[in-house]
Amino acid sequence: MEFCNCIDPQMPADDLLVKYQYISDFFIALAYFSIPLELIYFVKKSAVFPYKWVLVQFGAFIVLCGATHLINLWTFVIHSRTVAIVMTTAKVLTAVVSCATALMLVHIIPDLLSVKTRELFLKNKAAELDREMGLIRTQEETGRHVRMLTHEIRSTLHRHTILKTTLVELGRTLGLEECALWMPTRTGLELQLSYTLRQQNPVGYTVPIHLPVIDQVFSSNKAVTISHNCPVARLRPYAGKYMPGSVVAVRVPLLDLSNFQIYDWPEVSTRNYALMVLMLPSDSARQWHVHELELVEVVADQVAVALSHAAILEESMRARDQLMEQNVALDLARREAETAIRARNDFLAVMNHEMRTPMHAVIALSSLLQETDLTAEQRLMVETILKSSNLLATLINDVLDLSRLEDGSLQLEATTFNLHSLFREVLNLIKPVASVKKLSLTPHLASDLPMYAIGDENRLMQTILNVVGNAVKFSKEGCISITAFVAKPESFRDARIPDFLPVPSDSHFYLRVQVKDSGSGINPQDIPKLFTKFAQNQSLTTRNPAGSGLGLAICRRFVNLMEGHIWIESEGIGKGCTATFIVKLGIADRSNELKLPFVPKVPGNPVHGCTHFAGLKVLVMDDNGVSRTVTKGLLMHLGCDVTTASSSEECLGVVSVEHEVVFMEVCTGLDGYELAVRLHEKFTKHQDRPLMVALTGNTKRVTKENCMRVGMDGLILKPISVDKMRGVLSELLERRVLFETV
């Protein structure tokens, strides 16, 4: 054997096995060297890698392993010591590093594993959130749908549109197969199919209202699932293959105005419901979700309110139309009535004049004729003519009066008059007639009957005359008693005058006059007819053609105008009768005795005027001598210092600042107004100017206006009494102005 340094070793005997080992080692080394390269490449590529140190360690481990295997290649042949040392070093290093790596990996691998679990957890969470997001979105959409639906429903007041829109929108929102509304019929015993979604014109199916299913739905305000076999749910032919969609029904309260009380919401006091049925598409796996049911309930309520609004609106439109029609009719009627009244008034106005003129001519000429020389026969004829025409004139006056009374155009006058003398006059007028018929008249005037009263003297006299005249007319014998007294409030509560409620006051009193006769009496049944115009008592027409039947009617009108009451009582035919009336008259006091003919002198009255008139300088201007003298005497009597003038010029010449008052007549040929203007010009300073008062008998309203226009301070009417002048002067000096009402 020779030691040779040949490089090519001799292959040992199991040469094949070594060869394979040699190759495997080579490849292992290759792999081991390439792995770290790959690792470095990919780690450089990736952005995040937390374990760089481990990588380095791992890389070192791998490299050393690779080195070891590489060096192993040399150990297959005989090798030098260097190789052996290198080999050993490599192995030792490898051992160290791999142990370190192994130890490190124990820490790292659990970490790596937990990253994975976290990743999985996060993925699950994301999925869950996704689902929830989907749900919220669905809900929000539902909410939007409800709002939109409500808006659609409430934007119209037309019933049909409301219901149609509801169904359409619900169908769209919830994706329904069918949606229907059943309304109660007029009788309230059945439900009729009124609206459906898919079918355009639903045939009027009806279903009795008292089915248990329906009662169940009506008794709760929630949407209730019902079976699809129930009669209300059989809305369309069953088209699906497997399973019909789930059906839900909800009640819709039908409210009307009375359900909306102010303080509580529409209560469940309404018994009237409609039924809404909703059907999900068949063969879908859909179920009714809670939020969908809530949507349906809300919509049902909104529909109820919208329907009630529509109903209320319809109602009020109908009422308004009715009112308008009525208005038109009333207007027409009013215009017709006005035309009729105008026509009648025109007629009356013309006839008034036309009828009266010839009457007056006849009466006047007949009375003139009476004054001439006539034969007895002619005189008789003329007297008859006169009597008849007087009657006719009275009749015409009565008729015209009555028509004026009826349309309310008659107004009573209110003057102060002497009540006692009124009765006296009536008696004087009736006495002759009564004594001819041998009837005795007994008047009783109560002691507390006021002397003067305020009222319509003429009409009161007419009334009393009529009543007393009737008593005389219808009595053939006996006596007639007339009593007059002031009615006390207690006597008013009389069963005979049920509706009469007089109000006692300080300025008025009620005069009660009763006329009792012992004549032919009246059948109590005829009494109501007495006051009807033109109605005559049949049994008396033959005896007494002199009545027109109008008298009592007119009396009643007058008495009513005087806020009183008149009535007649009789016990029967032949038993006489009593006519009573009560009228309201004003109480007259001394201060408004302006038209009294008699002024009782009250002793103790200061005759010479009050001291503050003493020496009052007054100027009187009047062109009528008598008038001037009287006024001067009046003022002097009151203590004034009077100067007179009979014309404006004279007045202007005499007037001075010392004169306090100037009385001037304004309506005669003098220009009293001009005088006033000139006096204004003359006395520029207010306190120098005398008070200018018109003292005139002219009672036209324009006089007062003219006086005020020229700046006069007062107006009083002639004739004027001492007391009145006293009052006038006081007031003038105090207030500097006094305009009497004309």
Partner 1 sequence: MEVDQMQRQYLDYTKPLFLEGFLDGQFLQLQQLQDENNPDFVAEVVSLFFEDSERLLNDLTFSLEQKSIDFKKIDAHVHQLKGSSSSIGAQRVKNCCIAFRNFCEEQNIDACLSCLQQVKQEYCHVKNKLETLIRLEQQIVAAGGSIPTMEFSF
Binding site for partner 1 (CB under 8 A): 418, 420-421, 424, 451, 596-601, 607-608, 623-627, 629-631, 633-634, 636-637, 665, 667-669, 697, 718-722
H, E, C per residue of 324-357: HHHHHHHHHHHHHHHHHHHHHHHHHHHHHHHHHH
Nearer to partner 1, 54 or 722 (CB): 722
Q: Is 298 left (phi over 0), alpha (psi -120 to 50) or beta?
A: alpha
Among candidate residues 220, 159, 146, 227, the one with its CA nearest the CA of residue 194: 159
- Which SS3 state, helix, strand or coil, does residue 238 take? coil
User: Which residue matches tokens 């005398």?
Assistant: 690
548 is in an annotated binding site: yes
Q: What are phi and psi of 514, to 5 degrees?
A: -130, 130
CB of 719 to partner 1, least distance (A): 4
Q: How far, in Å, are 94, 204, 334 from residue 469 at the CA level?
A: 164, 83, 41
- Which SS3 state, helix, strand or coil, does residue 295 take? helix
Among candidate residues 474, 389, 478, the one with its CA nearest the CA of residue 441: 478
The sign of the torsion formed by the CA atoms of 97, 101, 104, 106 equals: negative
Nearest-Å Rg of the Cα atoms of the chain is 64
353 is in an annotated binding site: no
6 is in an annotated binding site: no
Among candidate residues 684, 662, 653, the one with its CA nearest the CA of residue 617: 662
517 is in an annotated binding site: yes
Nearer to partner 1, 608 or 709 (CB): 608
Nearer to partner 1, 164 or 718 (CB): 718
Residue 715 and residue 587: Cα distance in Å, rounded? 27
> How many Cβ atoms from other residues are within 10 Å of residue 151's Cβ?
12
CB of 326 to partner 1, least distance (A): 51
724 is in an annotated binding site: no
Among candidate residues 29, 334, 203, the one with its CA nearest the CA of residue 193: 203
Q: Are strands 661-664 and 691-696 parallel, antiparallel or unpaired?
A: parallel
Nearer to partner 1, 252 or 642 (CB): 642
Nearer to partner 1, 148 or 702 (CB): 702
CB of 607 to partner 1, least distance (A): 6
Nearer to partner 1, 166 or 418 (CB): 418
CB of 416 to partner 1, least distance (A): 12
CB of 654 to partner 1, least distance (A): 20
Structure tokens at 569: 């009582």
CB of 608 to partner 1, least distance (A): 8
Nearer to partner 1, 312 or 596 (CB): 596
Residue 511 and residue 583: Cα distance in Å, rounded? 5
Nearer to partner 1, 148 or 594 (CB): 594
Nearer to partner 1, 572 or 615 (CB): 615
CB of 722 to partner 1, least distance (A): 5
Structure tokens at 90: 């490599």
529 is in an annotated binding site: no
CB of 695 to partner 1, least distance (A): 11
**Omega before 603 within 30 of 0, i.e. cis:** no
Query: Most distant CA pair in the chain: distance in Å?
Result: 222
Nearer to partner 1, 50 or 697 (CB): 697
CB of 553 to partner 1, least distance (A): 32
Cβ atoms of 528 and 474 within 8 Å: the answer is: no
Nearer to partner 1, 481 or 698 (CB): 698
Q: How far, in Å, are 150, 185, 199, 293, 304 from residue 170 at the CA level?
A: 11, 24, 15, 11, 15
Nearer to partner 1, 211 or 630 (CB): 630
Nearer to partner 1, 311 or 717 (CB): 717
Residue 542, C-beta contacts closer than 8 angstroms, at least 6 positions apart: none
Cβ atoms of 164 and 195 within 8 Å: the answer is: yes
- Which SS3 state, helix, strand or coil, does residue 208 take? strand
CB of 333 to partner 1, least distance (A): 42
682 is in an annotated binding site: no
Residue 357 and residue 310: Cα distance in Å, rounded? 70
160 is in an annotated binding site: no
552 is in an annotated binding site: yes
Residue 523 and residue 438: Cα distance in Å, rounded? 25
Q: Give Cα 291 to chain centroid, integer Å.
A: 44
Residue 635 and residue 644: Cα distance in Å, rounded? 11
CB of 449 to partner 1, least distance (A): 10
283 is in an annotated binding site: no
Residue 722 and residue 640: Cα distance in Å, rounded? 13
CB of 380 to partner 1, least distance (A): 28
Amino acid identity of residue 739, one-letter, is F
CB of 537 to partner 1, least distance (A): 37
Annotated binding-site members for Cu cation: 65, 69
Annotated binding-site members: 65, 69, 470-473, 517, 533, 548, 552
Annotated binding-site members for ADP: 470-473, 517, 533, 548, 552
